[in-house]
Amino acid sequence: MTPQLDRQVLLQDTSRRGAAFCGLLSEKVDLWLQQLWENAGGPATGAALVAVGGYGRSELSPGSDIDVYLLYEPKTSVSALAESIWYPIWDEGIKLGHAVRTVKETLALASDDLDTATAILSARHIAGDPKLAEELAVKGDDLWRKRSKRWLDEMDVRVRSRHEESGEVAFLLEPDLKNGRGGLRDVHAITWAERAGMSLLPGDHEAILEAYEVVLSARVELQRRTGRHSDVLLLEEQDAVSAALGFDDADVFMRALSTAARTIAWVSDELWFRARSSLDGPTRRKLRRDEEALVGVVVRDGSVALAAGAEPANDPYLVLRVAVTAARNDARIERTTLDRLAESKPLTTPWSEEARRLFVELFLAGRPAVQVVETLDQRGLWEPIFPEWSVIRCRPQRNAYHRFTIDRHLCEAAANSAALVDRVDRPDLLVVGTLLHDIGKGRPGDHTDVGVELIAEIAPRMGFDEGDTLILQQMCRHHLLLADTATRRDLSDDGTISFVADSVDSLTCLRLLDALTEADSLATGTAAWGSWKEELVGVLVDRVAHVLSGGSVADATDTGFPTPHQRDLLAQRRRIIEAVDDQIVVISPDRPGLFSRVAGVLSLNGLTVLEAAAHSADNQMALEQFRVQSNF
């Protein structure tokens, strides 16, 4: 009788989590494969079953593949043996990664294929001849070290490509626990890099072990719950996974997951930066000279460091000068520099003009500022500058509209705003106001009201005067005003334009809100900003600007609808349909429900209505105008 794999007892034992679960499941599979080997008459010498990859590491999650090699000595027949082992595995519904090769053939493939080379780094004997498994492991390790420079270079490229494709575990609403930046695969890559001669800095090994357990536990529970090979933690699964892991609620769980992933990502980024530097070689590094940057700061070998004589304990602005230099050069900050900056003297309150200028310049650097803030926050250097950050750090926004955690969303939005400074009179207020627009989230009460109250404390502490503080509060209070009004209200209505003009109160604030709206939307998610929304917001801003510049509301809302041509058509008192480019005009006898019926017909025929207007004439005729976009 063919041996069966019984996993149900273990799967139902929710006290077994993370690495402990994976180890027990791997042991069960080991025993099962050994029974299959014996049942198939597998020999004690000349052939061996070897676990590789995740199974070789004894890290089988509920939905993991089983990766095994059937190794054999030349002239040994193993075809029947292979079938006797593979088919029972397939019958269990388990995905099998398998190969039947000699040790020599496997090593030849590993010499030129990264996936094979990394797989055999975790080769582990399961059944049969242990000498074959040992030979593969020893020679595979030697081969890996001999080709270490090539593999480090190729892994570096792969790591960056994987991050770009899968995003970040720490900050995404629905993270990829395995392939995302800060996920399990990053730790595997770190381990492989260590086998190639790289080493972690003091404290990093312990940090990633603890963080790895958090991410691995989440993956185990996700797959245990869904019964699928799934690595993306969907929003709909987060409550159940959180409960299974014993967290009070999903927000607490996702924050813990984010914190763990940030640690892994930080260590990974640090190691691969040093790997790239080592691949350059000492000769190339010696040709580079330190580049002087801001006072007390230099750029050295592509990273930012403290200049000779710089004393953080006596210079409260040194952290910000290092940050600005790193953002301007899109460079990492040296680890020893970060350690020394922990001694920094705190900023005086209120901030000086220099401190405020440096803070603004950090975000005016654009996209690189995001990683600089992340680095400072990871090393405990950001919260002393911005104490309110502690409440929003790694805090999830668990709705399908937002893709990032609150802290990352604010950084992304502020970085986006740097590209829009040509629209505004005050670039400093734009980047700071954008950074603060959601600062009230994560606290009791309406986040906008809370944010306005917090800014009343934050802005003066940063050295902004009363007038600037009021503008920053207005940006927070009305950060949703333009987007909501443009997409939900009639922009040809006098009341709509008057309401926005009265709320905004000044052209300066209107321009700031216009740029904030785009920066915020782009940081929110792909569905939050598009050409249609951009056009509507632009129309609203133009009309409100006309009023705030002294023009009349009537002039601002005069769209010329109906046109003289359309009035002539109405006078004919007959049903008329005109279609020109993306615009459809329908004229028909007026009756209740006409507008909704026409809109419904357009939708049924694959047309999305982007803009619509209606007019009822005195002669009982109706005019409806639609701007549409095809769904095909």
CATH 3.30.460.10 residue window(s) in the chain: 8-145
How far apart CA 222 and CA 61 sit, in angstroms, is: 10
Q: In DSSP terms, which residues pair with 85 in a beta bridge?
A: none
What pLDDT score does 74 carry?
Answer: 92
Percent of the chain with pLDDT strictly greater than 70? 98
Of 331, 272, 274, nearest to 305 by C-alpha is 331
Q: What angle do helix axes 494-504 and 481-488 make, rounded to 10 degrees?
A: 180
pLDDT exceeds cutoff 80 at 290: no
CB 99 within 8 A of CB 69: yes
What pLDDT score does 111 carry?
Answer: 95
How far apart CA 532 and CA 534 sit, in angstroms, is: 5
Task: Compute the average pLDDT of residues 485-493.
Answer: 91
Of 423, 430, 418, 515, nearest to 471 by C-alpha is 430
How far apart CA 502 and CA 448 sit, in angstroms, is: 19
Task: Compute the average pLDDT of residues 301-319.
Answer: 93
pLDDT exceeds cutoff 50 at 2: yes
pLDDT exceeds cutoff 90 at 101: yes
- Reported as a pLDDT band with limits 50, 70 and 90, residue 526 is confident
CB 269 within 8 A of CB 374: no
What pLDDT score does 287 carry?
Answer: 44
- The C-alpha torsion from 228 through 82 and 115 to 147, rounded to 10°, is 160
Q: Count other Cβ atoms within 10 Å, centred on residue 146.
A: 12
Q: 314 burial class (0-12, 13-18, 19+ CB within 10 angstroms)?
A: exposed
What pLDDT score does 444 carry?
Answer: 94
Assigned token pair, 269? 């980024």
The model's pTM: 0.85
Indicate the length of the chain as a whole number: 632
What pLDDT score does 179 carry?
Answer: 97
pLDDT digits (tens, 9 = 90+) for 613-629: 888 988 999 999 999 98
What pLDDT score does 282 carry?
Answer: 58
Assigned token pair, 488? 């939900």
**CA–CA distances in Å: residue 476 to residues 398, 436, 498, 512, 523:** 21, 7, 20, 11, 16
What pLDDT score does 462 carry?
Answer: 97
How far apart CA 326 and CA 320 sit, in angstroms, is: 10
What's domain 564-630's architecture?
Answer: 2-Layer Sandwich (3.30)
Of 354, 360, 337, 508, nearest to 428 by C-alpha is 360
Q: Is 351 helix (H, G, I), strand (E, B) or coil?
A: coil
- Which DSSP state fits 122? G
Contacts of 602 (CB under 8 A, 6+ apart): 584, 609, 626, 628
pLDDT exceeds cutoff 90 at 392: yes
Look at strands 303-306 and 332-333 and give their pairing.
Answer: parallel
How far apart CA 19 and CA 23 sit, in angstroms, is: 6
CA-based end-to-end distance of the chain = 57
Superfamily covering domain 8-145: Beta Polymerase, domain 2 (3.30.460.10)
Cite the DSSP H helix spans in 331-384: 335-341, 353-364, 368-378
State phi, psi for 419 to the nearest 5 degrees: -80, -5
Q: Peptide bond before 282: cis, by omega within 30 degrees of 0?
A: no
At which residue do the structure tokens 């770009």 appear?
Answer: 164
Assigned token pair, 43? 């020999």
- Reported as a pLDDT band with limits 50, 70 and 90, residue 292 is low
CB 115 within 8 A of CB 121: no
CATH 3.30.70.260 residue window(s) in the chain: 564-630
What's domain 150-285's architecture?
Answer: Up-down Bundle (1.20)
Q: Is 258 helix (H, G, I), strand (E, B) or coil?
A: helix
How far apart CA 89 and CA 466 sit, in angstroms, is: 72
Of 581, 589, 587, nearest to 625 by C-alpha is 587
